[in-house]
Amino acid sequence: MTSVPTPPWRKSPKPVKQQLSQALIVETGLRILDSEGLDALSMRRVAQELGTGPASLYAHVSNKDELLELIYDLILGEIEVGEPDPANWKAQLRAYALESHQVLGRHADVARAAMSSVPTGPNALRLGEYMMSLLISAGMDPRDASFTVDRLSLYIAGDAFEGSLHFARMRAQGLNDRKEYIRNFVGQIKDYYQSLPPEQFPMLTTYVDELTDPDGEQRFEYGLDLMIEGMAARMK
């Protein structure tokens, strides 16, 4: 195999190496997170992907936590919201919750950052502004609206985080089919509950089927509606 000389018209071939920048680091982090999960996302791994050493990242990002928060806000950018319509606040709030939940679910492992982060990124601000204006224009008291936004956000992030823990466990077992993993997992709990002494655990043994419903989306919506109905009860 002979090596070809670079042709003369391609002058001063730029160094292959890309310039480092915060945006580049964050994007690389997101890519790793999505394809290999939170456990794989390390400063060293990001650096490797960018062809450099881990120390180089610290010129653009102060530590791993900050990197995670930046990735988190990047993801929040995927959530789109429209104009608040006071007459439809319930449906709009519900739609918002479902969409955020979906977006967080799509990037499973960022959910942890969602729980620890302070809402100061540009997208977090945008979404906070949206939720507040929706609830307040619907007639909710500002204090109630603030608490509601806080609690709803916690619920969404909490459910997504729980999901991400299952997802990580699945990956640790070398499995890939999310549906099948859940079915299997739930099946094991079912067997266990069924094997319990009915005298001591009459409820758990009687209602095994209800307790081991594998439909996570349905469970999420159930809790969401519980909260929304609670809000409605408080407003009228």
Partner DNA sequence: ACCTGAACACCGTTCAAGT
Which residues of the shown chain bind a copy of itself in the complex (CB under 8 A)? 115-116, 118, 120, 125, 128-129, 132-133, 136, 142-143, 145-151, 154-155, 157-159, 161-162, 165-166, 169, 185, 189, 192, 196, 200-204, 206-207, 210-211, 213, 219, 222-223, 225-234
Q: Which is nearer to DNA, 31 or 60 (CB)?
A: 60
Q: Which is nearer to a copy of itself, 46 or 145 (CB)?
A: 145
- In angstroms, give the least distance from the CB of 116 to a copy of itself: 4
Q: Which is nearer to DNA, 48 or 102 (CB)?
A: 48
Between 23 and 62, how does the x/- string for binding to DNA read (CB under 7 A)?
A: -----------------xxxxxx------xxxxx-xxx--
Determine the Cα–Cα distance for residues 107 and 105; give it in Å rounded to an integer: 5
Q: For residue 145, give the nearest of 229, 82, 234, 236 by alpha carbon.
A: 234
Does 20 participate in binding DNA (rule CB under 7 A)? yes
Determine the Cα–Cα distance for residues 193 and 211; give it in Å rounded to an integer: 9
Does 187 participate in binding DNA (rule CB under 7 A)? no
Does 116 participate in binding DNA (rule CB under 7 A)? no
- Burial (CB count within 10 angstroms: exposed 0-12, middle 13-18, buried 19+), residue 173: exposed
From DNA, a copy of itself, none, which one binds at residue 202 (CB under 5 to 8 Å depending on kind)? a copy of itself
- In angstroms, give the least distance from the CB of 117 to DNA: 15
From DNA, a copy of itself, none, which one binds at residue 192 (CB under 5 to 8 Å depending on kind)? a copy of itself
Residues that bind DNA (CB under 7 A): 17, 19-20, 40-45, 52-56, 58-60, 63-65
